[in-house]
Chains A and B, each alone.
Chain A
Amino acid sequence: MLELIEVHTYYGNIHALKGVSMTVAEGEIVTVIGSNGAGKSTMLRTIHGILRPKKGTILLEGEALEKLPSHKIVERGISQSPEGRMIFPRMTVQENLEMGAYTRKDKAGIAQDFEWVFKLFPRLKERINQKGGTLSGGEQQMLAIGRAMMAHPRIMLLDEPSMGLSPILVGQIFETIVELNKQGTTILLVEQNARMALSIAHRGYVLQTGEIILHDTSAKLKEDPMVQKSYLGAN
C-alpha cells in the first residue's frame, strides 16, 4: 500500500535519511525502531510531505507522493499523530478534533468519526470543552491520536505515542492502536519503546543513523541478538 524506495532526506547538508526503502501492506501494523536521532521522525515527516526527499520515491497505491504538498497527502488518506503531540493549546478538545477533519466535507462521516474517537477515548468526551493545552500528557496523547483519526485515514503515522506516559497508560494506548488496526486502519508506528512496539506490530524495521539495517517479522526481530542487545536492553 505504502512504499518508500531509496528515500534520501537532508536538513541543509545533514544527510538524515540515506536511502530508506520499506513497504507497508494494507491492514498491517509496521513499526520502525531506532535510537535517538536515527531519523525516525524525519522519515514520517518525509512521508507526510512536510519534508521533501532529495532523491527517491514514495508511493501510495502506486501514486507518487513526494511532489505533493502536505494538504494533498492528508486528502489522499495519510494522517499523523506527530512527535510532541502538537495539540492546538488554546482550542478545546472538540475544536482540536474538528481541525483533524479539516480536509473532509462529509458531515455525516465526521459525526460518525466523533463517535468512533469517543468510543476509543471516553476520557476525551468528558473533557470535550477543555482547552487542549490544559490536558494532562496522557490525555494530550489521546487527543493527538483522536485528531489523526478524525481525518479517517487509510494509513496513520504514529510518532512515539508512548513518550512520557506511565506504563499503565502506555499499555492502554497500545491496546487502542491494536483496536484501531482491527477496525481497518493501517498503522506505521515509530517507537523508542521497542519491546511494546514489537509486541503489537506484524513487522518491524530497524533504523540506524538514517539507514535501515534490518527488517523482519516482529517475532523474529525479538529473537535477534543485535536487536535484543541494542533495543530491548538484554545483556
Chain B
Amino acid sequence: MKAEIKLALTMGLLGGVVVFLFGGWSVTVLGILIGVFMGLSIGGRVNKKDGPRKLALQSLSTAGIAAVVFIAVSLFQNYVVAPAGGQFPSELYIVIPANLIGGLGMILFTALTAALHGLPDRQERLGKLILMVVLVIAFPFIDRITGLHWSGQIIFALIFVILGLGLNIVVGFAGLLDFGYAAFFAIGAYTTGILSSPQHHIFMNFWLVIWIALGMAALWGLILGTPTLRLRGDYLAIVTLGCGEMMPIIFRNLTNVTIKEPLTCWIIPGIMRLFNSSAATKCITIIDNLDLTAGEKGINPIGRPYLPFIGEFQSNNPIPWYFLIILLILLSVFLIRRLRDGRLGRAWMACREDQDAAVQMGIDPVHTKLTAFALGAAFSGFAGAFYAAYIRGIFPSVFEFSTSIIVLCIVVLGGMGNINGVILGGIIIMGADRLFLPALKDLLKGLMDHTILPALASNHTLQAVVAQNANPILYRYLLFGLTLVIMMALRPEGIIPSAQIRAELHADEETSAVEKAVKN
C-alpha cells in the first residue's frame, strides 16, 4: 500500500511539473500518458490471478491520489504561477474541461492498463500493443486540437530515437564505445542535401535518396571501421572521438573540390618532363572547383518527400512528418530485432562478453565488430536523410561532438542493449531538451520580469546576475552530463534494462549470493 501511495505522489507531481511549464491543455495529454505509465508500473507487481476487474479496482485508489495531486498542481499553475509570470490564467471554459478530462483520463487509463495485466499473456500483449498504437496514432491529432504544438519537437526527439537505436547496436550489442556517431548522421544528412538541392541542380526523389543515405552511412562505417576496429576498448573510443571531430571540419571545408584524372594530369606529364619534352598533354579534370557543402552556410533548401493525396510535406503541417518518422522507427526496430536475434547478434554479444573466448568459438572478431559498426551507421543514414528534409537545410555545426554525446546519453539512459529503453530514453532526453527546457526558460523569464526582478530592484548587481543566469538552456550540457553521472551511479542498467545487461552489471551480487548459498 505504501509503495502505491509513493507511486501516486511521484506520478502526480511529475505530471504536475510538466503542466506547471505548459499550462492550458497539457494537463489532458499528460493525464492520459501518466495514466498509462502508472498502469504499467502497477502491473509489474500485481497478482495475475486476480483477473482484470479486480486489478482495475485495486488501481483506482492510486490513480485517484495521483489525479488529485496532479490537478492541484495544474490549478496552482493556472491561478498562481501564470499570473506571477505575467500571463493571464486560462479561461474557465478551457480550465474545466482540460482538468476534468486530464484527471478522469489518468484514472481511466491507469485502470485500463492495470486491467490488461490480469488477462492471459497473449491477450495482455495484444492489449498493450493496441493501446500503444492508439496513443501513437492519436497523439498528433490531439496535439493539434488542443493547440499544444508539441509535434514539431517530438519529431526531433524521434529522429534522435533512430540515432539511439543505431548507436545501441554499436555500444549496446557489440560493446564498442563510439564517441563519434554524429559523423554518420552527418554523412546521411549531407548525402541527402547534395542529392536533392538546387545548389547542385540535382533533384533526386526523397524516397530514393533515403536509401542512398543509408548506404553511404554504412559504407563510411566500413571505411572508418576497417582500420580502427582492430583496436580495443579505450583506444577505439579515442579514435572514434577523433573521427567525430573531423567530420564537421571536413564538411566545413569541402567548398572547393577539384578532382583531376591522375594519369593525364600528373603521371604522363611527369614522364614527359623526365625526357625534357615540352609537349603539352591535355589534363582531364573530372570535377573542377565544385562547392560541395557550401561551408558554414550549409546546404539549403533541400528537397522534401512527396506522396500522392498528401502532396509535398510542408513545414506547417507536422502530421505527415510524424507518421513518416514513426514508420522509419518501426522499420528500424523490426530490422534491429531480427539482427539481434540472429547469428550476427549472438556474435556481437559474445564479443562484448569476452572477445578471446569468442575467437575460440570460431567467431571472426573483426568482421563481427565491423558489421556492428556499419549497420549502426546505416540507421543514422535514415535519421540524417529525414533530418535534412525536415529542416530543409544542413549546417556543419549540427554534427559536432555534442550530438554524439547526446545520442550516447540516450543509449545509456535507456539501458545499453535495450531497444524499448532506448526509444523511451530518446523521447525523455530530447523531450527535455526541446520542450521542457525552452518552456522552463519562458516560465522563468516571465517570473523574472514580473515578480523576481522587480523585487530585487534595490540591488542592481544582484539583479543583473540573476537575470543573466536564469536561462536553463545555458545548463543544457550540464544536465546531460548530470544524467550520465546519475544513471551510472544509481542505475547503470538504464531505465528499463534488458535482463542480460542487468545480470552483467549485478554479476558480483549474484555471485556472492550463490557463494553464500554454497557455503551454507
Residues of A within 8 A of B (CB): 48, 50, 69-71, 73-75, 79-80, 82, 86-91, 95, 98-100, 102-103, 131, 133-134, 136, 147, 151
Contacts and interface: CB of A to CB of B under 8 A. Distances in A.
Given A88-B353, A88-B357, A90-B353, A131 B503 contact: yes
Contact of A134 (B346, B361, B500, B514): B514
Contacts of A131: 503, 507, 510
A75 B363 CA distance: 10
A14 to B, nearest CB: 19
Contacts of B363: 71, 102
A133 B511 contact: yes
Interface string B315-355: 00000000000000000000000000001001101100110
Contacts of B362: 70-71, 73-75, 79, 102-103, 151
Point out which of B361, B504, B518 has the most chain A C-beta atoms below 10 A from its C-beta.
Answer: B361
B374 to A, nearest CB: 19
Contacts of B347: 102
Nearest to A151: B362
Leading 4 A-B pairs by shortest Cβ distance: A74-B362, A86-B357, A103-B362, A71-B362
A90 B500 contact: yes
A50 B360 contact: yes
Given A70-B364, A131-B507, 9 more contacts: A69-B364, A79-B360, A88-B350, A88-B353, A102-B347, A102-B350, A102-B363, A133-B510, A151-B362
Nearest to A76: B362
A70 B353 contact: no
A98 B350 CA distance: 11
Interface in B494-512: 500, 503-504, 507, 510-511
Interface residue tally of chain B, by bracket? Answer: 20 to 34
B360 A86 contact: yes
Contact of A90 (B356, B359, B507, B514): B507
A107 B108 CA distance: 49
A48 B360 contact: yes
A50 B356 CA distance: 9
Contacts of A90: 353, 500, 503-504, 507
Contact of B353 (A69, A73, A89, A98): A89
Contacts of B514: 134
B339 to A, nearest CB: 16
A171 B161 CA distance: 55
A19 to B, nearest CB: 26
Contacts of B364: 69-71
Contacts of A99: 346, 350, 358, 361
B518 A100 contact: no
Contacts of B349: 91
Contacts, number: 72
Nearest to B366: A69
Nearest to A102: B361
19 contacts: A48-B360, A74-B360, A82-B360, A86-B356, A86-B357, A88-B350, A88-B353, A88-B354, A89-B353, A90-B500, A90-B503, A90-B507, A99-B350, A100-B361, A102-B363, A133-B507, A133-B511, A134-B514, A136-B518
Contacts of A48: 360
A70 B354 CA distance: 15
A91 B359 contact: no
Contact of A50 (B353, B359, B504, B510): B359
Nearest to A82: B360
A134 B510 contact: yes
Interface in B48-65: none
Contacts of A89: 353-354, 507
A90 B499 CA distance: 10
A4 B468 CA distance: 76
Given A133-B507, A134-B510, A70 B518 contact: no
A91 B360 contact: no
Contacts of A71: 359, 362-364
Nearest to A72: B362
Nearest to B347: A102
A99 B364 CA distance: 13
Contacts of A69: 364
Contacts of A70: 359-360, 362, 364
Contacts of A73: 362
B357 A87 contact: yes
Nearest to A75: B362
A220 to B, nearest CB: 33
Nearest to A50: B359
Nearest to B515: A134
Contacts of A75: 362
Interface string B222-263: 000000000000000000000000000000000000000000
Nearest to A100: B361
Contacts of A91: 349-350, 353
Contacts of A82: 357, 360
Nearest to B517: A134
Contacts of A74: 360-362
B363 to A, nearest CB: 6
Contacts of B353: 88-91
A89 B504 CA distance: 8
Contacts of B504: 90
Contacts of B503: 90, 131
A232 B347 CA distance: 42
Contact of B354 (A86, A95, A98): A86
Contacts of B358: 99
Interface in B180-227: none
A98 B510 contact: no
Contacts of B343: 102
A113 to B, nearest CB: 14
B509 to A, nearest CB: 11
A161 B426 CA distance: 48
Contacts of B357: 82, 86-88
B344 to A, nearest CB: 11
Contacts of A79: 360, 362
A131 B508 CA distance: 12
